Amino acid sequence: MELSNLSKKRRRIELDSSGFVILRIPNPPSPLILATTASDSIIHLKSDSLYTIGRYNRYCDFVYKDSRISNRHCQILFDSNQNKLFIIDGFVNNCYSLSEIGDFFRVRKCNNKEGFTRASTNGVFVNGIRVKKGGVFEIFVGDSVSFVKTGSLLEPSFRIVVEKIVCKEDVLGCNQFGYGGCSSSKWLLEECRKTIVGGFGFGRRRRNEDLIDRAVFLLNQCRETLLSVDPVAHLRRCCMVLNKEREVARIQNGHPRYSSAVCGFPDGCHVGSTDVVGNDLRCDSVKAVCRDNGSNSSLKPDMKVLGSSSGKKFYLNRIKFVDHDAVSNQHEVVSLPELLHPVATLSRVFIATFTNDVLWFLSCCEVPNHLPITIACHNTERCWSSDLDKRTSTPYPEYPNLVLVYPQFPEVIAFGKDRTKQGIACHHPKLLVLQREDSIRVVVTSANLVSKQWDDVTNTVWWQDFPRRSEADYSSLFTHFTDGDKSFKSDFAAQLAGFVASLLSDVPSQAQWIAELTKYDFSGAVGHLVASVPGMHKHKNPYPLEPMNFLSAKHCSSRSIGTKFLGSVEASVVGLKYRFHTSADSNGAQLKTLAAFLIRCQENAFGMSEVLLRRNTNIPADSNAVSVLICDLDEASEGDCVQLGFLPRNIANWVAPLCDSGLFSFTACIYPKEALAAALEGSNSKVQLILYVAQGPKFHEISTLIKPVHVAAICSLLASVQRCSGIWRLREVLDQYRWPELLETDFIYGSSSIGTSIDPKFLAAFAAAAGKRSPQYADSEESDPEWGIWNANQEARNPSMRILFPTIQRVKDAPCGIWPSRRLLCFSEKTWQRLRSVDMLHDSVPHPKCRVGYPMHVKVARRRFRSKTGKSSVGWVYCGSHNFSPAAWGRPVAAPSVERTDKSAGTTSCPGSRLHICNYELGIMFVVPPSDKNSDLDDIVLPFVVPAPKYRHCDRPATAKAMREALVELGELEKKHIENQAGEEVEETMTLLEDEVPEEEEVVEMTNYVPEEKDEEKAYAETLWSQVDSSEG
């Protein structure tokens, strides 16, 4: 093939004392144009110079005139500081200096950051494996780099081979090792040139030593592939190593030698057999040779041993390439491996996350493959599916005890209440529960289980360790914040267990987590957990004053006095219309009987009447069936009752084993008027039933009597128990205190995502839940919690809070540019246009200064008051996963039967109202009440500057539209320097911009919610009724 050279005559190779690289072109294609020092098949690259390969003459050092090659296909850089050779798929934008480009290559190599680059069209391949689009990859002597693949992986069309990498130390030391004591640098370089071109090598290593070692290593990998049980899986794991660009220092005797920065091994530690785990190389022989998980010797150089956390404040994550120790600030930092250390002492791990990179987590934290790990994560298809088999997966055979769980989204929030249509919902919490024999660590963070959010983005991290109990305490799972007395009790265990149960209720195999939590003492928790669970939530129902009957052990109903109530569950009566519809009751006799009973029923202060629950063990269709009867409880006899229907199957499935064992007791109430209306009208609306849960006669023996079936039932019970969620939980905690309204100094919320449906009603509801009151009622002694409550009219006139969100200019000015923020920040242009006139937006400036330029993924709120003495501050701080949106916190919805006297109030806290929540979320709240003289809210340092700078007239938030326009503007600036740009590259780039979606979007407001009976519930009840009727006949 013909080789074209821009130079008219062959140039002499000029060697650089700081190092250089020799590349060889096997069978050069035609036409190839070289704009640098080269022979027909040898290319010489100087150190610290960026070389471009492509088909565009103006900007490329090596030009391939072929349509399959991009205008600027890839770039190569030999970094003399690290003595490493890098190749990038695509090119770095022209607006950066050479020193910045060198830093970028080093950072990109370690962090795989997005931004700065534009990827090639057809890719770059190293040893047949494609480099990640826009990714940086380190290459070694003997590596084959190709630019186009045609057919077989073994037959690339355009290829170069790394022939030699000469480091600065080798050049400066070649006279010492091979050529005597000549002092002439000119002669030294010439001799080095002769040695390389002549093929003899220099220094201590022969010319082909690196190549031979690498070949032996590849042969070993081939041999391991052939001997493996699943060769295809083994090859895929090997590919992950290349794609994730792990650092192998060199090959010796056919085995890789690792640096301590990669695996945490001592330098020079020889690794025997290797296994690839996800994104990392992991060594089977590590435990025996290099590290001891039980000691500090397993710590990586940048890791620290964590002491016990007081739990009174949150930390920030440790960002790579930031010297946190050199920065004087009040924020302490922590990394994910530090939180898990020592891994060897862990007995079980639970994780909840939105996005995840499980393989990175396993390798980063050096997790042993036998450790039981449960990871609840988001998957739209699986979370909306009704198929229970899709609730879990075990995708990693090397980790047989690692289970992925996909929590189900309730059908009530789906579009049209039809889960096949899906809806707006997100599994968005960030939680780690790390169980050890003597303690358990709970971690609440804003970082997902991915490397970028732990290494490159600012996130909050809170954790606290809790000791083991001498014996399990199941009553702690049902602790209430006040428990009816004046003193406050920590409900941390109940909140944690309830939230975990909501994620695992469809996965009986993982319900053991609930039993494990009972073994630890959470009474010392400093913060208050704040959870959101998707659904249409109703206010907790008050307990009946004097219940007459309980369903408990041996299917008996019995009177009980002084029973300890544990909670209430919103359920329904299914099958009522079956018994009383026209065909079954042609003369209306049964309907008249029902009406007579309902009229005689005694109603309590809440308009409810107690019903009788009875177990039906003789129904073949469901041995767990529980029937619901109405009768005059003062004169009840076996035949003097009317059966209304049954408990739904999903409720009866856990009620039956818990009451049959005597561990729990149950009683229930209905609204008589609602039941009569349903029987008369024949509508599809549900007949509400409130199921009250109490301790059974054998509750105190639960630790000895409990079986796996009971554990799964308790998990379902906890997931069903009514508890305050979202803004109602916020209000439950903060309503315990009277806040000095007139002493408020700030009320702020900094979030990486702002909801698209934020309006005065939601703002007022959030502010009211946060304790906001009208100033004129601030000093009122009125005990009614609704007195002086903040409403939408007041919110529209005088915004209660300030929203912190970065401006587009701040994002554009960041060293990493716009790309890293594109998938972190979510703020719609419509929301901005709606809020800009109310003057509530402030710039989010990272704190401390060392974090300026790094994107923030924090979700932090604070309401602060001056103390009356002026020496300290009081109030509260929240941090966690909740973005500032109705999807996360919930939007109040009024029941259609509720008459509102103030339709603009926006708080909707009356008993008939509901809270529409779309997401699973979890956070932690720290409270310094006005009565606390020993604490100061200012001890909790926020991750952004306060007071935050107010938006100027010219400022604009980094909305999706603003970032898109900025990227287009950046592209236009670059196009001015590029001629004949390939159309397919522009099209690919624009497609990328349009296809990228923020991590979460918004809730559609639901009004006039009326719960309806589902078709499967009707079918279940009809089957039970038919078998009851046949047995009676």
Which amino acids are annotated as binding site, given as ranges?
Answer: 430, 859
Rounded CA separation 257/1023 (Å):
68
Contacts of 580 (CB under 8 A, 6+ apart): 590, 591, 594, 679
Q: How many CA atoms lie within 13 A of 77 on its CB side?
A: 26
Rounded CA separation 95/646 (Å):
71
Residue 1017 and residue 574 in contact, taking contact as beta carbons nearer than 8 Å: yes
Rounded CA separation 106/103 (Å):
5
Rounded CA separation 665/613 (Å):
11
Q: Which one, of 129, 132, 123, lies nearest residue 144 by Cα?
A: 129
Residue-by-residue DSSP string for 332-381: -EE-HHHHH-SGGGEEEEEEE-SSB-HHHHHHHTT--TTS-EEEE---HH
Burial of 260 (0-12, 13-18, 19+ CB in 10 A): middle
Rounded CA separation 480/1016 (Å):
34
Rounded CA separation 404/375 (Å):
5
Q: Is 857 a catalytic residue?
A: yes
Residue set of the binding site for substrate: 430, 859
Indicate the angle between helix axes 672-681 and 589-600, nearest 10 degrees: 170
- How many helices and strands, by DSSP H and E, does the chain display? 30, 47
Burial of 979 (0-12, 13-18, 19+ CB in 10 A): exposed
According to DSSP, the β-strands at 74-79 and 50-54 are antiparallel
Q: Is 44 a catalytic residue?
A: no
Burial of 679 (0-12, 13-18, 19+ CB in 10 A): buried
Of the candidates 44, 428, 528, 842, the residue annotated as catalytic is 428
Q: To which H or E segment does residue 989 belong?
A: helix 983-995
542: preceding bond cis by omega (within 30 degrees): no
User: In the numeric block, which tokens belong to residue 73?
Assistant: 């296909």
Rounded CA separation 395/376 (Å):
14
Single-letter code of the amino acid located at 25: I
Rounded CA separation 805/803 (Å):
6
Rounded CA separation 622/692 (Å):
22
Only one residue has tokens 């009816």, namely 484
50-66 per-residue burial string, b: 16 or more CB within 10 A, e: under 16: bbbbbbbeebbbbbbeb
**What's the maximum distance between 2 C-alpha atoms anywhere in the chain?**
120
Rounded CA separation 355/364 (Å):
16
Put residue 1002 in one of left, alpha, beta given phi > 0 → left and psi -120 to 50 → alpha. beta
Contacts of 924 (CB under 8 A, 6+ apart): 314, 444, 462, 527, 528, 529, 530, 878, 879, 880
Alpha carbon 712 to its chain centroid, in Å, reads: 25
Burial of 848 (0-12, 13-18, 19+ CB in 10 A): middle
**E-only strand ranges, 80-158:** 84-89, 91-92, 117-118, 125-126, 129-130, 136-139, 144-146
**Which are the catalytic amino acids?**
428, 857
